[in-house]
């Protein structure tokens, strides 16, 4: 089936900054919608509150909690395009049709809500801290999201960071000049992404790129945080009552990351206050003047590296400056935004790059085609600017195809609507969690012919491309609650991939053909990954 309708046509007419005319899909043949209880899905023990999902996983079945995408695929095959499953005390409705996903997005409010895990709420409650972008909803969420959206999601917002990220990528690529392999991934790529997100948030070099292959405390704690955050969604939430061993591990990781961020924020804030162009009204804000995060850290945090090489002359080129320059933004609001951006930005991008490198190393013909594009487009001085990135169409197609084959999150994003909606003839009451299963749709033959093949050409007009339903592939989500870090993540991926493959030919180690992966909030390899490197004799076209 072909989908000639473009994305903009699906959502007209738009209204205000976000959103469009809200529409609850209705049954048009005069029949009464069937109730939620009639939606097919697992029954019996699997439908019990809190423990039902446990009976769908090991040891009762062969399905692993860290690869739930396989279980969601089974649901699609067994029950159809709309499936009801038990998670916690409530029902989840899994949506497997792109047209229905479009209907959900048309129905969501101006301030969409996707729910929050009890783990995050429990941590915030016990620590007495206010929630951040990930967990907030309503007007309070919008108060944080709106200024962040302006700073990070506008088409030109990331232009000022391209040169600095390019410098970081050069340093990362040079690390392997005397090596014949790139190993311990995604951890080594986390060195690059941590430097990039540090530059974005604080205009600060964190000193993460080192000559060793060892993982830093920052990276280990980031992985622990995200792994436990993801697993908690499907655990019996005993941690809401007791400080279980799992909760204590999560708490230690969250405390570490929060305090490290506070350290960087405090140092960068001092530099911002010394910037001549910083808004006088903001500088004189008593909340900013009284903000003091120099508290005693525990032994682990005291041993971490403190911020270095902060550029005091152009602190304006940082997300911190952009946020604090926004009327109404307080240091507390800024802190909550930066912690979320910093933690999520390190892990997810490094994992996405690992899988991209794998597909290119496995498919040498695609790697040769990418290398030829890089030769044709990248100037002799090696600088990758916004104008250069616009011309790298095959690189962008490779990224898109990699994100299709290994979807960044388990099934897809979620939404909790404030209106009833009718999908496939069933009435889904407001307040029900809808899981929009783009990660499963991306592997369906009906939407992506030769679905198991790495075919970047499917995304390029004039090649083998066929029209794709615009709601079939949404790796960063959609609408006002889409991934806030999409543009910086893409920028980091494009620049580092271009420089790495311009310099080295990637090959898989002998005997390696696949990279098994799991979901720890984001898709990540089950084992450390290695690629063989062969230095190229680079020649540019004149």
Whether residues 188 and 56 fall in one domain: no
Which 8-state DSSP code applies to residue 212? S
Whether residues 442 and 351 fall in one domain: no
Name the nearest CA neighbour of 247 among 229, 220, 221, 223.
229
CATH number at residue 357: 1.10.630.10
Whether residues 106 and 179 fall in one domain: no
Whether residues 270 and 322 fall in one domain: yes
Structure confidence at residue 214 as a pLDDT band (50, 70, 90): low
Does residue 2 belong to any structural domain of this protein? no
Q: Which of 135-139, 159-163, 218-222, 256-260 has the lowest mean pLDDT?
A: 159-163
CB–CB of 334/320 below 8 Å? yes
pLDDT of the residue at 285: 47
What is the widest separation between alpha-carbon atoms in the chain?
71
Q: 203: left (phi > 0), else alpha (psi -120 to 50), else beta?
A: left
For the chain, the average pLDDT equals 84
Q: What is the pLDDT of residues 404-456, one digit of tens each?
A: 999 999 999 999 999 999 999 999 999 999 999 999 999 999 999 999 999 99
Whether residues 41 and 182 fall in one domain: no
Range of the domain at 446: 32-128+410-474
Whether residues 370 and 450 fall in one domain: no
Does residue 153 belong to any structural domain of this protein? yes
Whether residues 88 and 162 fall in one domain: no
Q: What is the DSSP string of 36-68?
A: GGGS----GGGGSTTTGGGGGSTTTSS--GGGH
**More confident: 367 or 155:** 367
CATH number at residue 419: 3.30.43.20
Q: What is the pLDDT of residues 272-325, one digit of tens each?
A: 666 655 544 344 444 444 443 333 333 333 333 444 444 444 556 778 888 877
Count of the separate structural domains present in the chain = 2
Does residue 117 belong to any structural domain of this protein? yes
Does residue 16 belong to any structural domain of this protein? no
Q: Is 398 marked as binding a ligand?
A: no
Whether residues 196 and 109 fall in one domain: no
Whether residues 144 and 163 fall in one domain: yes
Does residue 12 belong to any structural domain of this protein? no
Residues 363 and 510: their CA atoms lie apart, in Å, by: 15
* Bridge partners, 185 (sequence order): 529
Q: Which of 108-122, 289-303, 472-486, 510-524 has the lowest mean pLDDT?
A: 289-303
The pTM of this model reads 0.87
Per-residue 3-state assignment (H helix, E strand, C coil) for 184-206: EECHHHHHHHHHHHHHHHHCCEC
Q: What is the pLDDT of residues 483-495, one digit of tens each?
A: 988 999 999 999 9
Does residue 9 belong to any structural domain of this protein? no
Does residue 372 belong to any structural domain of this protein? yes
Q: How far apart, in Å, are the Cα atoms of 29 and each of 282, 293, 537?
A: 58, 62, 66
What percent of the chain is predicted at pLDDT more than 70?
Answer: 84
Whether residues 190 and 239 fall in one domain: yes
Q: What is the DSSP string of 411-456?
A: S--EEE-SS-EEETTEEE-TT-EEEE-HHHHTT-TTTSSSTTS--G
Whether residues 226 and 368 fall in one domain: yes
The CA-CA-CA angle for residues 126, 131, 137, to 5°, reads 130
Whether residues 397 and 418 fall in one domain: no
């Amino acid at each position: 089936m072909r989908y000639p309708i473009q994305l903009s046509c699906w959502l007209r007419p738009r209204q205000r900054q976000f959103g469009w005319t809200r529409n609850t899909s209705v049954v048009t043949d005069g029949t009464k919608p069937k109730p939620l209880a009639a939606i097919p899905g697992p029954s019996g023990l699997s439908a019990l509150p809190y423990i039902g999902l446990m009976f769908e996983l090991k040891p009762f079945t062969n399905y692993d909690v860290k690869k739930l995408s396989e279980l969601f695929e089974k649901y699609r095959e067994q029950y159809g395009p709309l499936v009801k499953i038990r998670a916690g005390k409530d029902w989840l409705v899994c949506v497997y049709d792109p047209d229905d996903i479009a209907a959900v997005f048309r129905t969501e409010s101006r301030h969409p809500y996707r729910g929050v895990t009890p783990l995050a709420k429990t941590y915030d409650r016990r620590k007495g801290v206010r929630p951040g972008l990930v967990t907030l909803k309503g007007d309070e969420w919008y108060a944080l999201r709106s200024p962040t959206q302006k700073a990070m999601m506008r088409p030109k917002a990331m232009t000022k960071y391209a040169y600095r990220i390019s410098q970081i990528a050069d340093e990362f690529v040079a690390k392997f000049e005397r090596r014949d392999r790139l190993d311990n991934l995604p951890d080594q790529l986390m060195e690059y992404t941590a430097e990039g997100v540090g530059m974005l948030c604080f205009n600060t070099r964190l000193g993460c790129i080192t000559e060793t292959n060892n993982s830093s405390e920052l990276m280990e704690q980031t992985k622990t945080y995200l792994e436990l955050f993801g697993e908690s969604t499907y655990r019996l939430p005993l941690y809401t009552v007791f400080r279980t061993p799992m909760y204590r591990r999560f708490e230690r990781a969250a405390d570490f990351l929060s305090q490290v961020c506070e350290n960087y924020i405090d140092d960068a804030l001092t530099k911002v206050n010394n910037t001549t162009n910083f808004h006088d009204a903001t500088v004189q804000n008593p909340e900013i003047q009284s903000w003091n995060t120099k508290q005693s850290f525990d032994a682990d945090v005291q041993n971490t590296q403190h911020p270095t090489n902060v550029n005091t002359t152009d602190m304006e080129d940082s997300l911190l400056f952009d946020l604090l320059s926004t009327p109404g933004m307080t240091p507390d609001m800024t802190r909550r935004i930066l912690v979320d951006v910093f933690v999520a930005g390190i892990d997810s991008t490094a994992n996405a790059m690992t899988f991209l490198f794998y597909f290119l190393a496995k498919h040498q013909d695609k790697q040769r085609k990418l290398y030829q594009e890089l030769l044709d487009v990248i100037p002799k001085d090696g600088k990758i600017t916004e104008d250069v990135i616009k011309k790298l169409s095959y690189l962008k197609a490779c990224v898109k195809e990699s994100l299709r084959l290994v979807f960044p999150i388990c099934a897809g994003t979620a939404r909790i609507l404030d209106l009833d909606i009718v999908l496939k003839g069933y009435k889904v009451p407001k307040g029900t969690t809808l899981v929009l299963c783009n990660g499963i749709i991306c592997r369906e033959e009906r939407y992506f012919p030769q679905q198991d093949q790495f075919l970047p050409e499917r995304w390029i007009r004039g090649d083998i491309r066929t029209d794709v339903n615009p709601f079939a592939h949404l790796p960063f989500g959609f609408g006002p609650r889409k991934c806030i870090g999409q543009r910086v993540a893409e920028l980091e991926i494009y620049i580092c991939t271009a420089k790495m493959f311009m310099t080295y030919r990637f090959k898989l180690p002998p005997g390696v053909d696949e990279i098994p992966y799991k979901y720890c909030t984001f898709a990540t390899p089950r084992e450390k990954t290695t690629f063989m490197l062969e230095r190229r004799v680079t020649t540019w076209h004149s």
